[in-house]
């Protein structure tokens, strides 16, 4: 099991990084990305803090990926902050997409999928075919989310990806311990989005492989 979208007390999660990692390890996770919410005010502090966790990766017995989720950033500044995150050593850049349950600025999806420094558009809501096609062209992955509220548009995201060939990535968007998912739960969520059993398995494997290849190539 792999999870590339989780949060700690450094943003709005409930667990310190060490406990989140330990609980993920008990769930059988092989890799975990910690992607706390950031904007221009806290990004450098969070990235530096996560570096201390990364140092103990071998002892923790699991691949730890330093990530961020750019959240409620004015669309015009997404590229600037995504590049800054990369320059500060971030391995995975997510952008908080235009969910239907939050007041995310219109144009966030479009700016994110056009940005060369963005890896994943998280819970992209009613993402347009045009933006999904741009994501496919630029290698930006679209997330199928396990999180309550954000998951309401999973079916739409799955259908759009089938039209455009955009890579899907499963993410728990875990904020609480109980949000961490088993592989079976992840597969059920993907199938609930309208994917076949074979396609759901492929999303878990292909999405994870592409993320790890991208991180290793940096």
Structural domain boundaries of the chain?
Answer: 2-216
CB 127 within 8 A of CB 75: no
Model confidence band, residue 98 (pLDDT cutoffs 50, 70, 90): very high
Q: What is the DSSP string of 90-133?
A: -SEEEEE---SSS-PPTTHHHHHHT-TT--EEES--S--HHHHH
Over residues 44-63, the pLDDT tens digits come to: 999 999 999 888 888 888 89
Model confidence band, residue 2 (pLDDT cutoffs 50, 70, 90): very high
pTM over 0.95: yes
Over residues 191-200, the pLDDT tens digits come to: 999 999 999 9
The pLDDT score that the predictor gives to residue 59 is 84
**CATH, domain range 2-216:** 3.20.20.140
The pLDDT score that the predictor gives to residue 203 is 96
């Amino acid at each position: 099991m792999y999870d590339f979208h989780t949060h700690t007390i450094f943003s709005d999660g409930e667990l310190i990084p060490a406990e989140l990692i330990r609980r993920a390890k008990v769930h059988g996770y092989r890799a975990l990305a910690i992607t706390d919410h950031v904007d221009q005010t806290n990004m450098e502090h969070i990235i530096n803090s996560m570096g201390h966790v990364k140092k103990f990766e071998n002892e923790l017995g699991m691949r730890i990926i330093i990530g961020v989720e750019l959240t409620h950033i004015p669309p015009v500044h997404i590229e600037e902050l995504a590049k800054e995150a990369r320059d500060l050593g971030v391995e995975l850049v997510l952008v908080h997409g235009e969910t239907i349950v939050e007041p995310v600025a219109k144009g966030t999806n479009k700016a994110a999928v056009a940005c060369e420094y963005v890896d994943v558009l998280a819970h992209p809501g009613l993402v347009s075919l045009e933006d999904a096609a741009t994501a496919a062209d630029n290698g930006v992955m679209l997330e199928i989310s396990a999180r309550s509220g954000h998951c309401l548009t999973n079916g739409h995201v799955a259908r759009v990806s089938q039209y455009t060939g955009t890579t899907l990535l499963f993410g728990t968007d875990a904020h609480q311990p109980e949000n961490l998912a088993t592989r079976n739960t992840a597969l059920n969520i993907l199938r609930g989005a309208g994917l076949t059993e074979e396609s759901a398995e492929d999303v878990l494997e292909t999405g994870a492989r592409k993320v790890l290849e991208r991180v290793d190539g940096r």
